[in-house]
Amino acid sequence: VAVLSCRRFLQDHRGFQDLCTLEKNQFILCKGDGGRGVPLKRPAFCPIKHLSATDAAAIPLDIQQRGVDVGVAILLQTANQRVLLTRRAKELRIFPNVWVPPGGHVELDETLLGAGLRELHEETGLKLEPEQVSPTVLGLWESVFPAMLSRGLPHRHHVVVYMLLHSSLTHLQLQPSLRPSPAEVSACLWADSRLVRAIVSAVDGDDAGVQLDDLPSSISVSQVSADGALTESSMPLAVFTSRAPASGPDVERVSTGTKFALELWLRTHPADIKKG
């Protein structure tokens, strides 16, 4: 018998294989069995894990009582095995100037897929219909902002559902349809598996070497102007292999949760694609 309860803002959500569903505006997590379910993870430096009793007491009551929000992020895979990443606008309050897949908050009465497709369209201009896609939930990520206690006490707490969607078009065919919202997106990138392997090898909180696979020193991205126009430019590869700094201000990088999702995405590939 499963007992349902509202998840509190300061509550731990650790797990390995969980089942998830969205029913009557309630996101339900339960322990998977027999190998069923999807992974639920968080970073080693997750603020919820390291909060002291004094820290927890200092968080305003209205934040503590807001509970845990649910977000969805879309890994859109093209016919030629690339995935779309976007850089969040620097004016955004949460994770500004950080690279993530398109996604956002699940609104009242939305399905996970419906929310993901809406966010994909709002942020990038790409419009897909539910009947055009066969969604797969890759994993769940416990996301807290600020991401580290060294940057302040947490004031946002999400469980992010990373959902994989397959497009029958290549990235070159989809590129003309990109119409990013400059209020939310400042750049776009179609990442291939070689770049993704380099990204996920730069583990946040770890000083181990990065797997570069003879990648060029710069990567082509589409910069988004104030009026939404796209301009091709080059960006140092080092941006995408940057790690979350342990202290001080954040840097432009791929988010830790995105690295988790991209690592799961790599596992869905046949062996020949993994080899590049």
**Segments making up each domain of the chain, as ranges:** 18-274
Q: Per-residue pLDDT for 50 more than 80?
A: no
Q: What is the distance between the alpha carbons of residues 50 and 205, in angstroms, rounded to a whole number?
A: 14
pTM here? 0.85
Mean pLDDT of 178-191: 98
Q: What is the pLDDT of residue 183?
A: 97
Q: What is the pLDDT of residue 126?
A: 98
Mean pLDDT of 54-73: 86
Mean pLDDT of 234-252: 94
Query: Where does 18-274 sit in CATH, by number?
Result: 3.90.79.10
Give 7 or 75, the one with higher predicted confidence: 75
Mean pLDDT of the chain: 86
Q: Per-residue pLDDT for 116 more than 80?
A: yes
Q: What is the distance between the alpha carbons of residues 14 and 40, in angstroms, rounded to a whole number?
A: 7
Q: What is the pLDDT of residue 27?
A: 63
Q: How confident is the model at residue 274 (pLDDT cuts 50, 70, 90)?
A: very low
Mean pLDDT of 245-256: 92
Q: Per-residue pLDDT for 118 more than 90?
A: yes
Contact 29, 135 (CB under 8 A): no
20-25 contacts, C-beta under 8 A, 24 or more apart: 20/137, 20/140, 20/161, 22/70, 22/106, 22/111, 22/112, 25/108, 25/109
130-175 pLDDT, tens digit each: 988 889 999 999 988 887 788 887 888 888 999 999 999 999 999 9
Q: How many CB atoms lie within 10 A of CB 73?
A: 23
Q: What is the distance between the alpha carbons of residues 276 and 215, in angstroms, rounded to a whole number?
A: 11
